[in-house]
């Protein structure tokens, strides 16, 4: 029997305030009405919506690690309500109205849960800066601005000097500020969402699914037991591709982030008076995503590598950390004495044409994946809508989700490996002045 690859980051999530209590692994044989593989934002949202529709359903969620160490908990902590470009691709901007409706619905859903269940995740509606360092990137920023006007969204165009007063750096040539984005601690959010699932949902940690035998009753094989269920939802994105029936439409990419120690009072004086902020670059492959947090730390997220089997080595993390240090010093030369205390990786699922992989894969097997970044709000609403879709509940946003189209076919390895390597080289060349 060929077993599925097990995702593994050889590093620790820097967002964790403390080591969270772990849930037990699945042991022995278990039966459920629904089996959900993956405790990220999509899987947790799917489980929550299923359970709310029918409290009599027995729902079991398994994760290879835990919600706290999932890729969802490892992202940069932007809950974004507006579409923007990923790399040089402007695929989301082509369907801006649809993405806006979905992303804002995702934020609204999360805000309700966070408020009602008292989840402490440092939720802050701080807005977002979308910036370019290279004056030649003007066309991408202009298309973003044009779409904001078409959507009648509030925004502000900022020049280098104004940005320096907002961000504490002269690195960026121009930027656009939009007020709607939420900044948060993604690990705290994931932990809170997992802890407040309805009573008819059971979550098992450290339970990787090694294989799935599909049939009238699907049998999920884990290291210490089996989970049998007539219906399955795969919330593994592009990880453990061996579990998904049908052709491949998505690939996993690893991204890396580092977080500084909190700035001392003396170091803080080197910045203008400013509030916490978040920044996305016009080229997310070559440029750096940045945050200045409420507790005076600076996050830098930069560097993307293929992770087709979901595994990131310590050597890759070390290389990314060295790149972060060099980029950080370039953006904030006044902080060469500020140390990077945490560095970690996470994975995103990318598709060839920017469309999601969403719906029924075959029979009673469903998925919500292919996020292409910005996964907090996007994957939350994708998971919730998929539950409505699977149970036959009418939701007007389902048509909006379907309007995003279908992801294109991706070739198998080694053609896929070569294609990804070529695409990354292209993006790094196009965005070489952005970091």
Q: What is the pLDDT of residues 410-426, one digit of tens each?
A: 988 888 888 888 888 88
Give residue 3's pLDDT: 85
288: pLDDT strictly greater than 60? yes
List, in order, residues 6 or more apart from 244 with CB less than 8 Å away: 234, 236, 361, 367
Half-sphere exposure of residue 54, counting CA atoms within 13 Å on the CB side?
14
Give residue 90's pLDDT. Answer: 57
> For 17-35, b where at least 16 C-beta lie within 10 A, e where not — what string?
eeebeebebbeeebebebb
Residue 1 has pLDDT above 70, yes or no: no
Residue 161 has pLDDT above 90, yes or no: yes
Pull the structure tokens for residue 134: 């290279």
Whether residue 15 contacts residue 77, with contact meaning beta carbons closer than 8 Å, is answered with: yes
Contact between residue 82 and residue 153 where contact means Cβ atoms under 8 Å apart: yes
Q: Is 397 exposed, middle or buried (0-12, 13-18, 19+ CB in 10 A)?
A: middle
Which pLDDT does position 51 carry in this prediction?
98
Per the CB < 8 A criterion, the answer to whether 349 and 369 are in contact is yes
Helix (H) or strand (E) run with residue 49 in it: helix 41-53
For residue 43, what is the enclosing H or E element? helix 41-53
pLDDT band at 433 (very low <50, low <70, confident <90, very high): confident
Kind plus residue range of the DSSP H or E element containing 379: helix 375-391
What's the whole-number average pLDDT of the chain? Answer: 93
* 294 token code pair: 């409420």
Q: What is the dihedral of CA 99, 105, 108, 114, to 10 degrees?
A: -90
Domains of the chain: 8-430 (3.50.50.60)
- What are phi and psi for residue 344, nearest 5 degrees? -155, 170
DSSP 51-115: HHH-TT--EEEE-SS-GGGSTGGGS--EE--S---BTTB-HHHHTHHHHHHHHHHHHHHHHHHHH
Query: Coil, strand, or helix at residue 119?
Result: coil
pLDDT of 320 above 70: yes
Residue range 87-121, pLDDT digits in tens: 555 566 678 899 999 999 999 999 999 999 999 99
Rounded CA separation 244/247 (Å)? 8
Band (374; pLDDT cuts 50, 70, 90): confident
- What's the confidence (pLDDT) of residue 407? 94
Q: Indicate if the pLDDT at residue 330 is higher than 80.
A: yes
Please state, in angstroms and rounded to a whole number, the distance separating the CA atoms of residues 371 and 217: 29
**Average pLDDT, stretch 216-240?**
96
- pLDDT band at residue 127 under the 50/70/90 scheme: very high
Distances (CA, A) of 293 to 114, 140, 297, 384: 19, 27, 5, 29
85: confidence class by pLDDT, cuts 50, 70, 90: low
Rounded Cα–Cα distance for residues 421 and 243 (Å): 24
CA dist 92 and 98 (Å) reads 9
Residue 428 has pLDDT above 90, yes or no: no
The structure's pTM equals: 0.95
State the CB neighbour count (10 A cutoff) for residue 297: 18
Q: Indicate the pLDDT class of residue 18, thresholds 50, 70 and 90.
A: confident
């Amino acid at each position: 029997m060929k077993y599925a690859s097990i995702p593994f980051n050889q590093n620790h999530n820097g967002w964790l305030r403390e080591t969270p209590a772990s849930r037990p692994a699945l042991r022995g044989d278990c039966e459920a009405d629904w089996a959900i593989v993956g405790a990220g934002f999509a899987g947790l949202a799917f489980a929550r919506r299923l359970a709310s529709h029918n409290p009599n359903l027995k729902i079991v969620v398994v994760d290879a690690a835990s919600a706290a160490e999932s890729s969802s908990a490892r992202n940069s902590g932007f809950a974004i309500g507006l579409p923007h470009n990923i790399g040089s691709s402007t695929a989301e901007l082509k369907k801006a109205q649809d993405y806006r409706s979905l992303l804002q619905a995702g934020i609204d859903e999360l805000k309700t849960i966070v408020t009602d269940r008292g989840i402490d995740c440092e939720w802050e509606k701080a807005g977002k800066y979308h910036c370019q360092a290279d004056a030649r990137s003007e066309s991408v920023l202009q298309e973003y601005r044009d779409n904001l006007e078409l959507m009648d969204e509030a925004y502000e165009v900022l020049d280098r000097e104004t940005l320096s007063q907002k961000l504490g750096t002269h690195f960026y040539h121009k930027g656009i500020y939009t007020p709607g984005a939420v900044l948060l601690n993604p690990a705290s959010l994931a932990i809170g969402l997992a802890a407040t699932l309805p009573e008819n949902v059971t979550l098992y940690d450290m339970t990787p699914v090694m294989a799935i035998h599909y049939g009238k009753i699907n049998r999920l094989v884990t290291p210490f037991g089996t989970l049998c269920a007539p219906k399955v939802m795969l919330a593994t994105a592009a990880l453990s591709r061996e579990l998904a029936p049908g052709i491949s439409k998505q690939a996993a990419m690893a991204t890396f982030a580092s977080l500084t120690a909190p700035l001392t009072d003396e170091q803080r004086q080197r910045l203008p008076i400013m509030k916490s902020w978040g920044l996305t670059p016009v080229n997310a492959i070559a440029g750096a995503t940045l945050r200045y947090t409420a507790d005076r730390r600076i996050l830098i997220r930069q560097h993307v590598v293929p992770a087709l089997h979901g595994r990131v080595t310590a050597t890759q993390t070390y290389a990314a950390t060295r790149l972060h240090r060099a980029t950080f010093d370039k953006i904030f030369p006044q902080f060469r004495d500020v140390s990077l205390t945490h560095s970690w990786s996470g994975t995103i699922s990318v598709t060839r044409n920017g469309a999601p992989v969403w719906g029924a894969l075959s029979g009673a097997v469903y998925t919500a994946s292919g996020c292409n970044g910005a996964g907090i709000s996007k994957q939350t609403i994708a998971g919730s809508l998929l539950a409505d879709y699977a149970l036959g509940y009418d939701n007007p946003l389902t048509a909006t989700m379907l309007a995003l189209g279908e992801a294109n076919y991706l070739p198998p390895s080694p053609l896929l490996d070569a294609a990804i390597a070529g695409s990354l080289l292209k993006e790094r060349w196009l965005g070489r002045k952005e970091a």
